[in-house]
Chain A
């Protein structure tokens, strides 16, 4: 029954943008209709998932009559994919509400309908990706998701930089699919069926297992944005409309994580080195992601890089769980996988919140450059509060949700010092995580401070204003969820334990509740929350008691300070950027100063993605150059292409 409802919601989501196609290009009806269908379908879907989770229905499958020649349509729902379904529904619904104010049809008559069509298509396809229990259907849903993602990223395809970043995404997603097709073919050969997800393929040759792991890791790693496969992510997120960035960052990256989580358990007990690889790749992504984030001027690029960091932290937690599985330490599995799953959910809460806030800034101040903002707190107080909360949550500060998941991962790595098979080398992750956390804190202080406090650095910033309620309320809901999960993590512990148990059903998992007492987090969150109420009162009191004087900031005796003299985001990061200059690999044009009375000189410095800029683009250009000769085959005549297909099929038949 649940499966039927979920299938119906997926179809509802997929079709939510269709009615709008028949409406007039300037009428808002289609948009409201799409939003209503999306919210209704998501609400039903969430109810179905929770209905599955709370009364503990056993894992269920659905095999309807309709099928393709190559595979039956098969869906299945267990506690693990239920965990991944929740954010899809939540962000899809909230994003479509946000879109009413951010991308109104009236103002975007050309691309509004396209955006909503692919928004629904992508959300529905993601639901199917998570539910699919057959590799053919999985790949079909995966491709629908990936391609509608392309059209969402290139919503404003009139701008060259959007087309450029869409193109990079297109290449990356096809490379990912290539690896996944190879992965599923191998799986089909050795498991004998298209059934997903096999959990204990026994007796596989080591080479095949290794190939399966690497293909899965690369294919899904592209989608998750693991370094060095992240090249499509920063520019893609920055150039998309903000709610699309929220959907990508908050939900679509999770699909990559979901895939990796399933891949690592295909062989029952995974080899130890899989865990080591995951931890290394995870830490590499976390560290380089946050270091690159720190140096950005464009706040949407900053948020995109911070997604790479968070995906890295999630992968590190997953790596610990794989380690625990291979040496049979259930406590590592519980803390590592629990932390990874909870961080996935948390990232789906605070990252969309921050991207929507970023959209609010773009809406109000019409720029993505932090250095021309400032002083927005007085002009858009609601967005300021929400962004500050989101920043504190992503910097893992108590009493917010990011802290709970990072604490689980930290504790997991501390646990590697103990146990029957201690792995103290894994404990080196702890100081590295601390470094990443400290850089994340400074990155997000920089983001909120440069945009919101101080004085406006440009006229556009001075004229900003809070956005409409349709844009604010989705953010308020996400912020409330961040506080709720952070202050009452006990609410989610049950669902989390079920999801951990469903990962490898044969593995005897121990519940998180038995390892740590999360009520302590609540006990400490309450004084902090009471304190914030106290602060609100105190601020109110201060405002009243202090007579309204226009005292400026202490200017050290200099009588004419200007807003351009404020510390900028780049100056805040200057020391760190110098220390980590080898990782940032910036492009700098130092000023040429010569002569006794040098003429005015310019200094320019920008931080493009080092891997895209210095490695991937030159390499791809070279490959393109080599493949130039293959152009002969492409004449552009459809008849010729049909001839190719005929020949290939003939050859394949002959081989058979």
Chain B
């Protein structure tokens, strides 16, 4: 019964929660800037508004441009069904789902970058080039973190790997390794969801844009789908990170769900603070940052060998 409720809760959270995280980030940033900021639910209103709008499609584009936002939503949703959001196992879990998870995200990236190049615009080309260049460095960091989790849990499924991660005794070598991969995963999270210091989600036409510039030509429901998919990715990666950091206890299911929910909101707040307190890195230093993330995970792996 608890599993069933857990699954229902997870699906509901996956469907409804993501835009809220963006709202909290924006509110935090407004707070730091001394502004009142948009309402916390503004992203929901935006999505509803976009869904009702018509689309403008460039005559240069092909069907890939229309397909890409849908493919990204579907692939991120499927990936999200493999990461446990709460203390119960995710709806989909099987041996090897960790690789499926990484490659579903890659499928989304394949189509988003194809669609960006489909418009034939140099701006979107730049965005696509940066997106997959930086992915080349964040993927190894992610897989190194997975190595640590596999080694600690002895399992090859995300649910079985992430749930016991929180049972590691504080002060042990394993906990030190977990701290290192948590840092690394936080950087991966910032890079994959295009936040400062890797990318600035506020401006469109700066020459340093990544994600925003890739979706420059999207409008109406297509833009809505892209925004939703990227916020969903944020939710999933944040939940991934929280499982490593939070001291969950499977005996107290209710408390754990509460902890995870609060944790998700706190992560959004932290991202907002990082965005307010830091400047965006120069583009040529982004690979350096991501290599540093790889090194963090790598040393984490060394610790537990």
Contact = CB atoms under 8 A, between A and B. Distances in A.
A445 B132 contact: yes
Contacts of A432: 140
A454 B60 contact: yes
B57 A438 contact: no
A469 B75 CA distance: 33
Given A395-B106, A424-B305, A538-B66, A442 B132 contact: yes
Interface string B288-302: 000000100010010
A581 to B, nearest CB: 13
A439 B138 CA distance: 12
Given A455-B120, A552-B59, A515 B294 contact: no
A445 B103 contact: no
Given A377-B62, A567-B126, A515 B95 contact: yes
Contact of B66 (A437, A542, A556, A579): A542
B147 A430 contact: yes
Contacts of A538: 66-67, 70
Contacts of A574: 129
Majority DSSP secondary structure for residues of A touching B: helix
Interface string A498-522: 0000000000000000011100110
B1 interface: no
A377 B78 CA distance: 29
B263 interface: no
Contact of B110 (A392, A433, A553): A392
Interface in B46-65: 54-64
A438 B132 contact: yes
Interface in B63-104: 63-64, 66-67, 70-71, 74-75, 78, 92, 94-97, 99-100, 102-104
A414 B124 CA distance: 37
A407 B102 CA distance: 11
Contacts of B96: 407, 410-411, 516, 520
Given A398-B100, A524-B92, A528-B74, A445 B143 contact: no
Contacts of A572: 117, 125, 128-129
A395 B110 contact: yes
B129 A571 contact: yes
A442 B102 contact: no
Contacts of A434: 102, 139-140, 142-143
Contacts of A439: 136
B51 to A, nearest CB: 14
B64 to A, nearest CB: 7
B156 interface: yes
Interface string B219-253: 00000000000000000000000000000000000
B268 to A, nearest CB: 27
B140 A553 contact: no
Nearest to A445: B113
A450 B150 CA distance: 39
Contacts of B92: 520, 523-524
A382 to B, nearest CB: 13
A417 interface: yes
Contacts of B140: 431-432, 434-435, 438
A633 interface: no
Given A454-B117, A524-B100, A414 B147 contact: yes
A403 interface: yes
A397 B95 contact: no
Nearest to A449: B117
Contact of A441 (B97, B106, B205): B106
> Looking at B63, B92, B123, which has the most chain A CB atoms within 10 Å of its CB?
B63
Contacts of B126: 567
A414 B156 contact: yes
A631 interface: no
Contact of B117 (A453, A521, A532, A542): A453
A527 B78 contact: yes
Contact of A554 (B71, B103, B128, B217): B217
A546 interface: yes
B57 A546 contact: yes
Contacts of A524: 78, 92, 100
Nearest to A408: B96
> Looking at A406, A449, A450, which has the most chain B CB atoms within 10 Å of its CB?
A449
Contacts of B64: 377, 388, 453
A438 B106 contact: yes
B287 interface: yes
A535 B120 contact: no
A205 B170 CA distance: 53
A563 B107 contact: no
Contact of A551 (B57, B143, B216): B57
Contacts of B156: 411, 414-415
B117 A445 contact: yes
A539 B125 contact: no
A534 interface: yes
B55 to A, nearest CB: 6
B58 A396 contact: no
B147 A438 contact: no
B121 interface: yes
A417 B62 CA distance: 46
A431 B103 contact: no
B118 A454 contact: yes
A430 B136 contact: no
Contacts of A384: 62
A304 B21 CA distance: 45
A572 B102 CA distance: 23
A44 interface: no
Nearest to B152: A417
Given A516-B96, A571-B129, A453 B139 contact: no
Interface string B255-276: 0000000000000000000000
B114 to A, nearest CB: 6
Given A431-B140, A431-B147, A553 B125 contact: no
B110 A575 contact: no
Contacts of A549: 56, 59
Interface string B131-171: 01101110111111011001100101000000000000000
B211 interface: no
Nearest to B133: A575
Interface string A7-28: 0000000000000000000000
A553 B103 contact: no
A377 B92 CA distance: 37
A216 B257 CA distance: 58
A566 interface: yes
A616 interface: no
A398 B71 contact: no
Pairs A-B, 10 closest by C-beta atoms: A567-B125, A454-B120, A449-B117, A442-B132, A431-B140, A434-B143, A520-B94, A438-B136, A553-B58, A453-B118
Given A427-B151, A561-B121, 17 more contacts: A375-B60, A417-B147, A427-B147, A430-B143, A437-B103, A438-B135, A445-B132, A450-B117, A453-B120, A455-B60, A517-B95, A535-B67, A542-B57, A554-B119, A567-B126, A571-B125, A572-B128
8 contacts: A375-B60, A397-B103, A397-B106, A437-B139, A442-B136, A516-B94, A566-B121, A567-B122
